[in-house]
């Protein structure tokens, strides 16, 4: 059985104090009522070390939202994979559509980031997904396949075992417009088939594929019920402990 995951992506939200409070709330709620999936919160860099010190990693794991495409040195303002790892974080989100769109992250840059993250012992949550125009012209599979092959297909199967995929149709992120469970399943099955062709069936079957884009407590259960949907990457709804826990609970019977 592949791992089921609900991961929060706080994006550029929360002061340090508010972030610590939220992490505490999420941690407490999971200690009181153990989750039946892996739960991760991905926070801004500045929160990582403090949050690492207060969460119980038996119920809650920690991740960053990005890392540099260089190992170290004179890159003012950047944060390396090694630095992320040293905070106690286990995961890093790479390839989020906001990074691709607003910070010009190309498949080649993302390939460097993925390699550095894996080399430093981080697990990667790698985001892929099409924009509305691409879906309307029926190009979504082609786009997603190019994103996968452009950044991940030089990995060995052993390295790829530390990659979690997140399918996030860009038109569904922060818009309140969720993909239907059927649209999500159709794409997740395509992604799994593409992984099987590259890395083999066993690797594909073991790969966790998350859905992201306006996932909330009210729609999580229907999305997670699909055979190829292994959890969610949650933006807006991860900023309130109650909503986030509601999505985590979608994995309960």
Residues with a known catalytic role:
96, 168
- Distance in Å, CB of 71 to ligand PGA, minimum: 27
Q: Say if CB 67 and CB 84 are below 8 A apart.
A: yes
Using CB under 6 A, pick the residue from 80, 87, 147, 214 that binds ligand PGA: 214
Query: Which residue number, 13 or 159, has a Cβ lying nearer to ligand PGA?
Result: 13
**Closest residue to ligand PGA: CB criterion:** 235
**DSSP label of 65:** S
Coil, helix or strand at residue 35: coil
Query: Which residue number, 195 or 215, has a Cβ lying nearer to ligand PGA?
Result: 215
Residues 6 or more apart whose Cβ sits within 8 Å of residue 51: 19, 20, 23, 41, 43, 62
- Asked if 219 interacts with ligand PGA (CB under 6 A), we say no
Using CB under 6 A, pick the residue from 212, 224, 231, 251 that binds ligand PGA: 212
- Distance in Å, CB of 88 to ligand PGA, minimum: 22
Beta bridge partners of 231: 5
- Distance in Å, CB of 147 to ligand PGA, minimum: 15
- Asked if 114 interacts with ligand PGA (CB under 6 A), we say no
How far is it, in rounded angstroms, from Cα 106 to Cα 215?
Answer: 26
The phi, psi pair for 99, rounded to 5°, reads -70, -40
How far is it, in rounded angstroms, from Cα 33 to Cα 59?
Answer: 10
Query: Which residue number, 9 or 115, has a Cβ lying nearer to ligand PGA?
Result: 9
Q: Which of residues 121-180 bind ligand PGA (CB under 6 A)?
A: 168, 173-174
- Asked if 116 interacts with ligand PGA (CB under 6 A), we say no
Q: What is the 3-state secondary structure (H, E, C) of 133-200?
A: HHHHCCCHHHHHHHHHHHHHCCCCHHHHCCEEEEECCHHHCCCCCCCCHHHHHHHHHHHHHHHHHHHC
Residues 6 or more apart whose Cβ sits within 8 Å of residue 32: none
Using CB under 6 A, pick the residue from 44, 63, 95, 236 that binds ligand PGA: 236
- Distance in Å, CB of 5 to ligand PGA, minimum: 13
- Asked if 9 interacts with ligand PGA (CB under 6 A), we say yes
Query: Which residue number, 199 or 238, has a Cβ lying nearer to ligand PGA?
Result: 238
Using CB under 6 A, pick the residue from 35, 63, 129, 235 that binds ligand PGA: 235
The site for ligand PGA (CB under 6 A) is made up of 9, 168, 173-174, 212-215, 233-237
């Amino acid at each position: 059985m592949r791992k089921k995951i609900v991961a929060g992506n706080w994006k550029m939200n929360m002061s340090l104090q508010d972030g610590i409070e939220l992490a505490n709330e999420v941690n407490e709620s999971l200690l009181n009522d153990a989750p039946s999936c892996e739960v991760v919160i991905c926070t801004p860099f500045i929160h990582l070390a403090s949050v690492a010190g207060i969460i119980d990693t038996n119920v809650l794991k920690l991740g960053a939202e990005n890392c540099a495409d260089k190992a170290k040195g004179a890159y003012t303002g950047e944060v390396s994979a090694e630095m992320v790892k040293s905070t106690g974080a286990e995961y890093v989100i790479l390839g989020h559509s906001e990074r691709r769109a607003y910070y010009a992250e190309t498949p080649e840059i993302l390939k460097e980031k993925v390699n550095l993250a894996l080399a430093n012992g981080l697990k990667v949550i790698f985001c892929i997904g099409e924009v509305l125009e691409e879906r309307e012209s029926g190009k979504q599979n082609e786009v997603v396949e190019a994103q996968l092959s452009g950044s991940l297909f030089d990995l060995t199967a052993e390295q790829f075992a530390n990659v979690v995929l997140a399918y996030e149709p860009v038109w569904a992120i922060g818009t309140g417009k969720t993909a239907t469970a059927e649209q999500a399943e159709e794409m997740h099955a395509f992604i799994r088939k593409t992984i099987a062709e590259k890395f083999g069936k066993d690797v594909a079957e073991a790969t966790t594929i998350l859905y992201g884009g306006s996932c909330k407590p009210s729609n999580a259960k229907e999305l997670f019920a699909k055979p190829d949907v292994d959890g969610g990457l949650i933006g807006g709804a991860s900023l309130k402990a109650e909503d986030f826990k509601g999505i985590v609970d979608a994995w309960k019977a």
